[in-house]
Amino acid sequence: MRHFLYLLILLPTLVIAQQKTEGKYTVDVNYFYGNVVPHRKSIQHLITAHPEGVIVSFNRKTFGDKEWHSAYNYPDYGFSFQYEDMKNRSLGEMYGLYGHYNFYFLKRRLQFRIGQGIAYNTNPYDKETNFRNHAYGAAVMPTTYFMLNYHKPDILQGVGVQAGLSFIHHSNGSMKSPNTSTNTFAVNVGLNYTFGKDEKLRYIPRKQDTVNYKKQPLKYNIAFRGGLNESDVIGSGQYPYYALSFYVDKRVSRKSAFQLGVDFFWPTYLKEYIKFKSVSYPEENVDGNADYRKIGMFVGHELFINRLSVEGQVGFYVYQPFNSTGTMYQRVGMKYYITDKIFSGVALKTHGAKAEVLEFGVGVRL
C-alpha cells in the first residue's frame, strides 16, 4: 500500500510529463481506508482489521453537445481500477475494473460517482483450504461502488484535490455458494488532474427538450431474463434461472418513467432445495412435490440517461407455494437500448439484503 501512496504523491508529475490529450479528459487517484460492515453474523469472524486500497480512474468530460449532457449537469463518464486489501487472510485481496459516471451538484463542488464492474478475489471459499471464507464463493464476481466527494479541480497547473466517502460492494449474486458478500464503508482522499484546457471548450446551455415526453403514449414491455444460481446449501450445484416480465410504463419527463407489471419466475434451483428440505428437516413439514415456480406483481421506476437507463422495481409474490425468501422482492439494474424498441440489460434480484440471482436479459418496448 505504501507504493500506492507514492503514486498518489507523484501523480501530477507523471501526468504532466505524459500529457497528450487537450481538454476533455481527467485522471484521479483516491486512497481509501475503512471498515467492513458486519451485515451478517456469518462474516463477523472475518472482520479483523481495517481494509484499505486505491481507486484509479480515467474520466471523459461532457460539454453539452448531446441533449443528455446538460440534462444531467454535464456528467463525466469513464473507467476505474480498484485494489482493496481486505486485511484478512481468508478474504484475500480484491482487484476490480469498472465503468462509471460522475454527477455534479452544488456548483460542481459535490461529485457523486457510481461504478459497476467485475472483480477478482485472490482467495475464495474452498472446503479444504479456505473453509472460513463464507463471503466469496467464487473468484470472479460483480461489484459496485459509490463515491461522494468534495471535488476541487485545477488548483495549480491542472492539479486538484478531492475527499469524501466510499462504499464498495462485492458479491457474486448467489451464482455460487457461499455468498455472504462484503460491504466496505471508507473515507477517501486523492488528487485529480485535468488535461490541458482548450479555450474552444465551453459548457453549452441547456435548451428545451426536442421531445415532449409527457405526451408520449403508454409503452408495453416484454423482457426475458436468465441466470445461474445456487441455494444456500454449499455444494448443492448451480441451476438455470428464468424470468419473463410483462409491464407497461409511462414516460413523465426527460428522465423518468413509471412501471407496473407482472413477473413469472422459474428458479429451478428450488426443485432440489425443496427435496432437500423435505428430507433433511421433516419437522418443517415441507412438501417435497411443492411447485418451485413463482408469480409476482411489481411497480418500478426507470431513469433514462442516454441509451443507458437505470431501473428499480419493488414487487410481491402473488403465487409462491414454497416460501423460501419472503413475500417481497426487489430488482435493481441497468438497461441499454440497442434501438428505440429493443433493449438488453443486467439486474440483481434481491430479497432485502439477500441476493437471489444476477439476471441477464433482452426485451422489447413497444
The DSSP string of 238-285 is -EEEEEEEEEEEEE-SSSEEEEEEEEEEEETHHHHHHHHHHHH-GGG-
Predicted pLDDT of residue 19:
40
- Residue 58: Cβ within 10 Å count: 14
187 with 226, same domain: the answer is: no
DSSP letter string, 140-189: EEEEEEEEEEEEEEEEETTEEEEEEEEEEEE--TTSSS----EEEEEEEE
Q: What type of residue sits at position 338?
A: I
CATH of the domain at 125: 2.40.160.20
61 with 100, same domain: the answer is: yes
Portion of the chain with pLDDT greater than 90, in percent = 67
Domain span at residue 95? Answer: 2-194
Residue 199 domain-assigned (yes or no): no
97 with 186, same domain: the answer is: yes
How far, in Å, CA of 241 to CA of 292, rounded? 11
Cβ atoms of 37 and 184 within 8 Å: the answer is: yes
Is residue 178 reached through a cis peptide bond, with omega within 30 degrees of 0 on the bond before it? yes
Q: What are the tens digits of pLDDT across the range 221-259?
A: 999 999 999 988 888 899 999 999 999 999 999 899 999
Map grid coordinates 413475500 to a residue: 327
Cβ atoms of 295 and 319 within 8 Å: the answer is: yes
Portion of the chain with pLDDT greater than 70, in percent = 93
pLDDT over 90 (residue 316): yes
Q: What is the mean pLDDT of residues 336-348?
A: 96
Q: How many domains does the chain have?
A: 2
Q: What are the tens digits of pLDDT across the range 157-206?
A: 889 999 999 999 999 888 888 888 899 999 999 999 998 677 777 888 87
Q: What are the tens digits of pLDDT across the range 80-130?
A: 999 999 999 999 999 999 999 999 999 999 999 999 999 999 999 999 999
Residue 231 domain-assigned (yes or no): yes
147 with 177, same domain: the answer is: yes
Cβ atoms of 261 and 298 within 8 Å: the answer is: yes
DSSP letter assigned to residue 2: H
For residue 330 the three cell numbers come to: 426487489
The confidence band for 353, taking pLDDT boundaries of 50, 70 and 90, is confident
How far, in Å, CA of 225 to CA of 343, rounded? 12
